Amino acid sequence: GAGVSQSPSNKVTEKGKDVELRCDPISGHTALYWYRQSLGQGLEFLIYFQGNSAPDKSGLPSDRFSAERTGGSVSTLTIQRTQQEDSAVYLCASREPSTYEQYFGPGTRLTVT
Amino acid sequence: AQSVSQHNHHVILSEAASLELGCNYSYGGTVNLFWYVQYPGQHLQLLLKYFSGDPLVKGIKGFEAEFIKSKFSFNLRKPSVQWSDTAEYFCAVNAWRGSTLGRLYFGRGTQLTVWP
């Protein structure tokens, strides 16, 4: 079946612009995660959605970052007034409800110029 | 707060050498443990996992890991590495709080380079 998909695959934006990154999780996966992967920094947790519960936003680095998940499926990560330090690969993952395995998407490579 | 420590940032081995990558976590309750691998230019993918039962778990491509609860460790091993094992390896922990499974905590990753 289809895996986690993310769009766009690459995004180049100018400093100060807003960007939206999209994640389509695997159907039936109620938990969805956003991470950021920077060179040499490993995986940085951003936000976690679990069903209808309030999201765990503890990883969002600033109030310029926000995310929503509509209808328990598609999620959008929004970065306002982008800065050069926001340049990274943004990864989305959804979790299989019975095995608890996380399946990762291919990521969106964001470059802020 | 929870944390996951991977002791080695970069490991360089020759083919056929044995591998052990360390992983320790800081949570005293029930956990699910994972190792993920990211080959160059590819997605993160699951290598193996431990939820309960036999603390020695086997994964894909000849990898195994041992959960030692008393040491809060989940080290990854492979008896004989291949050039194709060159990748970045991430240890991850999911903690149960009551009946709720929280977020996944990742270590910083270990880059494994295998020379042919």
HEC letters along A30-91: CEEEEEEEECCCEEEEEEEEECCCCCECCCCCCCCEEEEECCCCCEEEEECCCCHHHCEEEE
* A106 or B101, which is more confident: A106
What was the pLDDT predicted at B96? 79
Residue B67 one-letter amino acid? F
Cβ–Cβ of B105/A56 closer than 8 Å?
no
Contacts of B109 in chain A (CB under 8 A): 42-43
pLDDT of B1 strictly over 80: no
Tokens of B13: 């081995």
Contacts of B94 in chain A (CB under 8 A): 100
Q: b/e string for A52-67 if b means 16 or more Cβ within 10 A?
A: eeebbeebbeeeebeb
Confidence of residue B95 (pLDDT cuts 50, 70, 90): confident
SS3 of B71, please? Answer: helix
Give yes or no for B103 touching A (CB within 8 A).
Answer: yes
Cβ–Cβ of A104/B44 closer than 8 Å?
yes
Give yes or no for B94 touching A (CB within 8 A).
Answer: yes
- CA pair distance B77, A84, nearest whole angstrom: 38
Give yes or no for A48 touching B (CB within 8 A).
Answer: yes
Quote the minimal CA–CA distance from A41 to chain B in Å: 7
Confidence of residue B104 (pLDDT cuts 50, 70, 90): confident
- List the single residue in B36, B103, B107 with the smallest CB-CB distance to A56: B103
Q: What is the pLDDT of residues B51-61, one digit of tens each?
A: 989 999 999 99
Of all residues in chain A, the percent with pLDDT exceeding 90 is 73
